[in-house]
Amino acid sequence: MAKVLVVDDSNFQRKWLTKSIKKMGHDTVEAVDGCDGLEKIEAEQPDCIITDLLMPNMNGIELLEQMRKNDCQIPTVVVTADIQKDTKTQCQELGAKGFLNKPFKHEQLERAVNICLQGK
């Protein structure tokens, strides 16, 4: 069992992700934006992070940038409604391990989480 941090400003999306991840047998921690996510990373030490891109206060790219600055190596999956090639490349350069385009199915989320957790 792993601990997965879900970072998304949408309460509905966060709850859906949390429910899906718990179905996989993992614990979850929730954050409402990148700032909250950074605090939860420090406090909770998750094994994997699922983050939205478009959020207030600190978006997903800024979160990835801060994680890199802090030398945080936690595998991260980016979820978004529309990921463009340049954005995807930027996220990969910042260390993102996977991408899910909204809407996605539970099976796709499970596959992405399992890839992140390999070697843990």
7-50 pLDDT, tens digit each: 999 999 999 999 999 999 999 999 999 999 999 999 999 999 99
Please tell me the pTM assigned to this model.
Answer: 0.95
Q: What are phi and psi of 11, to 5 degrees?
A: -60, -45
CB atoms within 10 A of CB 100: 19
The residue count for the chain:
120
Residue 55 belongs to domain with CATH number:
3.40.50.2300
**Domain region containing 79:** 3-117
Please name the helix (run of DSSP H) or strand (run of DSSP E) that holds residue 97, with its range, or none. Answer: strand 96-101
* Beta strands at 76-80 and 96-101: parallel, antiparallel or unpaired: parallel
Q: Give Cα separations from 9 to 1, 35, 55, 56 (angstroms).
A: 25, 11, 6, 7
